[in-house]
Amino acid sequence: MKNPNVKDVPHVRCRGKNWYFRIKKPNMYGEWIWTEIKGGSTKEECIASYYATKEQIGQEVKVYNPDTITVGKVFEVWFNEYVELNTRPSTQKSYEGMVQKHILPVIGNLKLKDVTPRAIQKLINVKHTELARASATKLLTVLKQAMAYAVSPCCFIDVSPATNIRVPRAIDAKPKKAHVFTLQELASIEKRFPPGHQYYVPLHICLYAGLRIGEALGLRWDDVNMENQELSIRGTMMENGVWQDVPKTKSSFRTIPYGEKLQEILKAEREHQDSARLTFKYGVYNPRNYVCCRPDSGYRMCGRDFRYFNEWCKETFGEGSTHSLRHTHATMLLEAGESLEAVSKHLGHTTVITTSKYYSHVTEKGKSQMKKTMDAVFPISE
């Protein structure tokens, strides 16, 4: 694209104590319009500012020229104009990590017009061997969205090179099995992190209510209905300690029941916090009214605070994490006879398919029970 600023003599004028110059530059819609800009207190400063601005405009036009724009610049535009305005902070962080670690080092410096579908497919094929399938799928999603944005509304290219790209099939992949704590392991956890420990309340909320750790840490006392014994999930605590008013998915907004065991723990915790507020000497104890906070300071907790618990589980049991408590909760409900649909809604899964994928070992037990039921209902004829 040729810069319309073909005249070398700037249009300048003095207004009061300042000098201004006129120049054509593209607006936010890509239209070239005349604009008057303050250039300085003297004519010489104004002329120098004009030429500096003209050079800057020329560089920007070159950068965004469809024939010269790079893949890296496309991702920058997509992120600034779309991702930051339309996605949650957690999604932004995830996308940025994917782009910086897996995309830009490989094709970031290539001109967009030189990127072929085959190049992107080869990139995905390689990353498929390095990443989990879910991560490879997310990587492809990022690529497709950015390239689609380059087509429209940016008009950098006519057709996206990522349209028909696929993640290779994992033919021999086994269904993902969630780790479920045994009763003996739960007893060990109880012994290691007893009442009064900062982990005690959030771990038991995850176990007895099936919440994600971020959902448990994001609970406020306004979300707890002790009369009806229900928890309302209205947000989540991010890994960096920022409370987000949107849970993981739309299905994560939910109100779920809880039993007497958790009721006793919540009552004891509320009494402790009420007592701590009366004797606290360093400002306000737990000012944001979180259900889970540090017992000594009342300061909020976040996912990073539980790294020790996850490491302890792996050292002690070989595997396990805070999320395993959620898996344990769901498995116990299913084995006790709760339906897959009911447990799926309770967990806040988007679809029943998500639930069945993680708890296939439980549904296999259900099949065995169904066989026995069939034999009882349809006896073999003599």
Distance of CA 378 to the CA centre of its chain: 50
Alpha-carbon gap, residue 15 to 12, rounded angstroms: 10
pLDDT of 358 above 90: no
- Domains of the chain by start residue, with CATH: 11-63 (no CATH), 71-151 (1.10.150), 183-368 (1.10.443.10)
Contacts of 170 (CB under 8 A, 6+ apart): 133
Helices (H), the chain: 43-63, 71-78, 84-86, 89-98, 104-107, 117-130, 133-151, 183-192, 200-209, 213-218, 260-279, 307-317, 322-335, 340-347, 352-358, 360-377
Q: Which of 36-45, 205-214, 249-258 has the lowest mean pLDDT?
A: 249-258
List pLDDT tens digits, range 128-139. Answer: 999 888 899 999
State both tokens at 284. Answer: 């306000």
Task: Please give the pLDDT value at position 356.
Answer: 74
Compute the average pLDDT of residues 266-288: 93
Alpha-carbon gap, residue 353 to 365, rounded angstroms: 17
Q: Which of 154-163, 168-177, 311-320, 340-349 has the lowest mean pLDDT?
A: 168-177
Q: How many C-beta neighbours within 10 Å does residue 365 have?
A: 13
Q: Which of 6-10, 121-125, 192-196, 268-272 has the lowest mean pLDDT?
A: 6-10
**Pairwise pLDDT comparison (5 vs 306), residue with the higher score:** 306
Place of tokens 């380059």: 150
**Pairwise pLDDT comparison (216 vs 249), residue with the higher score:** 216
Compute the average pLDDT of residues 42-69: 82
List pLDDT tens digits, range 279-317. Answer: 998 889 999 999 999 999 999 999 999 999 999 999 999
Q: Which of 90-94, 260-264, 353-357 has the lowest mean pLDDT?
A: 353-357
Compute the average pLDDT of residues 331-344: 86
Task: Please give the pLDDT value at position 293.
Answer: 95
Cα 372 to Cα 338, 363, 367, 368, distances in angstroms: 18, 14, 9, 7
14 SS3 class:
strand
pLDDT of 364 above 80: no
Task: Please give the pLDDT value at position 351.
Answer: 82
Are the C-beta atoms of residues 219 and 289 closer than 8 Å to each other? no
Are the C-beta atoms of residues 95 and 83 closer than 8 Å to each other? yes
pLDDT of 5 above 70: no
pLDDT of 373 above 80: no
Compute the average pLDDT of residues 256-268: 95
Backbone angle region of 289, left / alpha / beta, with phi > 0 → left and psi within -120 to 50 → alpha? left
Helix (H) and strand (E) counts in the chain = 16, 8
**Pairwise pLDDT comparison (245 vs 105), residue with the higher score:** 105
Are the C-beta atoms of residues 7 and 13 closer than 8 Å to each other? no
Q: What percent of the chain has pLDDT over 70?
A: 86
Task: Please give the pLDDT value at position 13.
Answer: 92
pLDDT of 79 above 60: yes
List pLDDT tens digits, range 178-236. Answer: 789 999 999 999 999 999 999 999 999 999 999 999 999 999 999 999 999 999 999 89
pLDDT of 1 above 50: no
pLDDT interval class at 354 (50, 70, 90): confident
- Whether the model clears a pTM of 0.85, i.e. scores above it, the answer is no
Alpha-carbon gap, residue 188 to 316, rounded angstroms: 9
Task: Please give the pLDDT value at position 171.
Answer: 56
Are the C-beta atoms of residues 92 and 80 closer than 8 Å to each other? no
Highest mean pLDDT (candidates 250-264, 308-322, 344-358): 308-322
193-200, long-range: CB within 8 Å, 24+ apart, which pairs?
193/309, 195/268, 196/295, 197/295, 198/294, 198/295, 198/301, 198/305, 199/306, 199/309, 200/265
